[in-house]
Structure formats: structure tokens, C-alpha cells
Amino acid sequence: MKVLVAMSGGVDSSVAAAELRREGHDVVGVTMRLWGGESDTGCCSVSDVDDARRVAQQLRIDHLVFNFSEEFNATVVSPYVDAHRNGTTPNPCIECNRHLKFDRLSQRARLLGFDAVATGHHARIERQPSGVWRVARGADTAKDQSYVVHMLDQKELAYTLFPVGHLTKTQVRERASELGLRTASKPDSQDVCFISKTGGRETFLGHRIPFRRARVVDESGTEVGAVDAVELVTIGQRRGLRLPGGSPKQFVLAVDVEAGTVVVGDESRLACDTVMVGNTRWSHEPPALGASVLVQTSAHGVAREAVLEEIVGDARATNQVVLRWREPQRRVAPGQSVVMYDDADRVVLGGGIAL
């Protein structure tokens, strides 16, 4: 099989390419040039491209570079900026997967005659007896990335490979060491690639949108603090609110960008019974109303029990659903991904964006 492997310059994608090569596939590596600006984090730096190229040389496979910088800016960076401008909390790495790694890259791979695209994600793709494809959790629960690839539908799942999903991170590094790959001990990427360590989110956004000062008020409307940039505040935040010393811990309960107001209160006030999810995408058919699902609301969060209470509009379209928690949970910041698993917490059913 002819496979195009997305090589980010990290150890996981390096071993993914090596595993496919070992299995006898015709493997070509590709690095996507996404961010053209300053980068000292993530997977978009010059050194990362060089690491991917050198690993490809070690594996004796061809290495390509695709420039998707315009698409990256349009589908990831600009929406990230707009989200902050509007007071929501974006997840740019998931949008990069959605629009670049499993859309634009797959389109290019098909045009070039590849039979599949592979990445180094710690997740598994399984075909059930019914013939339905599902994303399953990776073997390494601490590194599981099924949450960030939840958007894959049947067409994409049938065309995608996750060669390291059955391995633990330790096993991945061991295999890289055995092969002498230069990425064997390279640290994992932890940050958004277009946000530099030196400047941070505040500097990046400050160059692109005007920051607005906002009042911090309690639930009675009494002003108790202030923030210089309401665009940087998110639901559940506790620090940076300029609250008087010695006061009880206060958490952000609501953000009103237009009114320039941030409402704070006790952490218990973040508890809610339901979460509304928009832009929902199912990997296959949605569960029946009333079905029990396990719901994860952050990349490394614990999945919690919920019931699919309502589907708004055509169940197969990207519409809204309402999930009711079995027990009250902390409110999910609007803009964050909400991913639904089966009641065994093993395979992804679908996911969307918290409203």
C-alpha cells in the first residue's frame, strides 16, 4: 500500500513512518509548512522540518514539504483570533486536525495516488463487525489522543492510519532508540505552534485585535476588580482578575465582551446540569435519544456520564445537541470541544463545540 505519512518532526510520527516501512508499505513522508511567522513551540519550527527530513533519510524514504500556510491562516489562526475577539475559548489544535491533517492533506494525498494517510496520533481505528469504522482510544491512556481526532467520519476513517495507537509512549521511544532515530528523546510538543514562548498569547493577540478593559463584578453587580483585556478571559478562570487580597477564591462565571463585564463567583456556581453542543459531527449514526454516553471536555480530562437529551434539526447534519449530565459538572467554556464516547468509554461516537 502507498502511504503518505504526516511527519511533524516528533518521535510519534517518526515511529509511525518506521512501523509502516517495516510492514512493507511504500512510504513517503510529508511535512506540512503551516505557520510562516515566529515559532519556538509546537510543531512548525524550522528545526522540526529538519528533524522530519533527517528521519526520512534515516528510514530511506522520500520526504516532501507541502505549503498549506494560507489554509492554516484561514481555518485555524483567523478563527482563533476571532474567537478571542468574541469572548470564546478556541481549540486551534483540533481545528488544525479538522481542516489540515484530515482534510487538506487527505485531498492532496488522493490526488497524488496514495492509498492512505497516516499520522502519529495515539489513537486507534477499528472496523466493527457491522463494517462501521470507529476511532478508539489509544493503548496508552495517559497519551490518548482520540479526543483531538474525534471529527473523523467514515470516509476519513477508511483512508487514515494511526500506526502507533497500539503502543505506549515508552514503547514508541524504545523503538525510535532501537532504530537510532534522531527524534527518540525529543520532548513532546505541548503548545500552540503559532504562540511563541517569549511573547505568549497576549502578545500574539495584542498585535491583531484591540484589547478592551473590563469590569469584574460579583453576581449582585458590585464591581470587585478589573481586567485589561476581556478577550483573554475564559469561563472558570481564577487568576489575573485583580481581586482584593484575602477575599474568598472567585472564578469567572460569565464573560460579556460587548458590555465589558466579567462576572465572578464561588466555584460551586460553575456547576451545571446540561451542555449545549453545536457543529456536532458523528462518526456514523447518532445514538438514540436517551442513550447513555461518556463525555470528555478537554484533551486530558476524565469522561463523565451523560444522556443524549435532544438533537436539534437533522440528526445527520452539523446541528446542535443537548447533553444532560448524570451528576452536575463544571461548565464547559464556549468554544471548547465536547466529545462523546460509547458507554464503555472506548470508541468515539461524535463531538462538537460547546455553546
Residue 278, SS3 per DSSP: strand
The three three-digit cell numbers of residue 308, written as one number: 443524549
Whole-number Å distance between alpha carbons of 309 and 324: 6
Of the residues 43, 93, 193, 272, only one is catalytic, namely: 193
Whole-number Å distance between alpha carbons of 342 and 247: 42
Whole-number Å distance between alpha carbons of 326 and 1: 45
Q: Which residues does 10 contact at the CB level (< 8 Å), separation at least 6?
A: 43, 48, 51, 120, 183, 186, 188, 189
**Cβ atoms 83, 333 nearer than 8 A:** no
Q: Residue holding cell 500574539?
A: 204
* Largest distance between two CA atoms of the chain: 68
Q: Does residue 193 carry a catalytic annotation? A: yes
Rounded to the nearest 10 degrees, how much is the dihedral formed by the CA atoms of 151, 79, 112, 51? Answer: -90
Strand ranges in 40-142 using DSSP code E only, listed in sequence order:
62-67, 116-118, 123-127, 133-137
**Cβ atoms 333, 236 nearer than 8 A:** yes
Tell me the one-letter amino acid at 275. V
Of the residues 43, 44, 96, 272, only one is catalytic, namely: 96
Residue 170, SS3 per DSSP: helix
The three three-digit cell numbers of residue 30, written as one number: 510529508
Whole-number Å distance between alpha carbons of 295 and 302: 8
> Which residues does the annotation mark as catalytic?
96, 193
